[in-house]
Chain A
């Protein structure tokens, strides 16, 4: 069956972007990104168990610009997925499902993600330079 032969309901590009849908897409995207980040966690642990040479490889990678960029992306993804995941858990209890709460909660998640990411990197960098 060729999908194009039948009538299709309007797809993503038809709708105006809105906070609710963007945050929903971001939850899935950050989840996928964090799955890749989980592999890094295992690589780090296995390297530490393997010895100095393997561990140096992880350190070199994480200290590179690409490594730092990935770490930043993963940390922001983690905080976003964590905060929005808590928002989902609240919804699962049947609370905060009205439109106003959904928007307020959405902006709280965006703000909390920014603040937590900032705090983590300020703490990490100040530890690095000290």
Chain B
């Protein structure tokens, strides 16, 4: 008993595409300077021993930038891989499982990386 318009309203968008699109761009913009800094920093660390590397991570600026880099990377990775899965995996259960796994793994890797940076920076290792 609903009008054609009433039935169509709300069917088009899942109401979350804009958020996904927008965060993919924001993390992309953040990653431009962060990855360039990281590449230059890594070249500077070529041939460095563990102590040199730990001293570098312990300095405030590298530590902060590494944490920001890890957040931006794994946010961007989870958004990007989600689109890949949505494009190629059409079985509902497999799609749900893969996207869940991607989300959880990205979160776990980000936490692991951030913890490692912080533990080096505060000198508990």
Q: A35-B77, A50-B125, A92-B25 are in contact. Are A82 and B32 (CB under 8 A)?
A: yes
Closest to B119 in A: A49
| A55 close to B (CB within 8 Å) | yes
Q: Do the beta carbons of B25 and A89 come within 8 Å of each other? A: yes
Interface-located stretch among A14-22, A40-48, A107-115: A40-48
List 8 A-B residue pairs with CB atoms under 8 Å apart, sorted by A's residue number.
Answer: A35-B81, A41-B113, A42-B113, A42-B116, A45-B113, A48-B54, A123-B43, A127-B46
| A86 close to B (CB within 8 Å) | yes
| B10 close to A (CB within 8 Å) | no
Closest to B38 in A: A41
Smallest beta-carbon distance B94→chain A, Å: 15
* Chain B residues proximal to chain A, CB less than 8 Å: 25, 28-29, 31-32, 35-36, 39, 42-44, 46-47, 50, 53-54, 57, 66, 70, 73-74, 77, 80-81, 84, 109, 112-113, 115-117, 119-120, 125
Q: Do the beta carbons of B46 and A120 come within 8 Å of each other? A: no
Q: Do the beta carbons of A89 and B29 come within 8 Å of each other? A: yes
Docked complex Cα distance between A127 and B48 (Å) = 10
Q: A31-B80, A48-B120, A49-B116 are in contact. Are A127 and B109 (CB under 8 A)?
A: no
* Chain A residues proximal to chain B, CB less than 8 Å: 28, 31-32, 34-35, 38-39, 41-42, 45-46, 48-52, 55, 75, 78, 82, 85-86, 88-89, 92, 120, 123-124, 127-128
Q: Do the beta carbons of A35 and B125 come within 8 Å of each other? A: no
Docked complex Cα distance between A74 and B79 (Å) = 19
Q: Do the beta carbons of B46 and A86 come within 8 Å of each other? A: no
Q: Do the beta carbons of B35 and A82 come within 8 Å of each other? A: yes
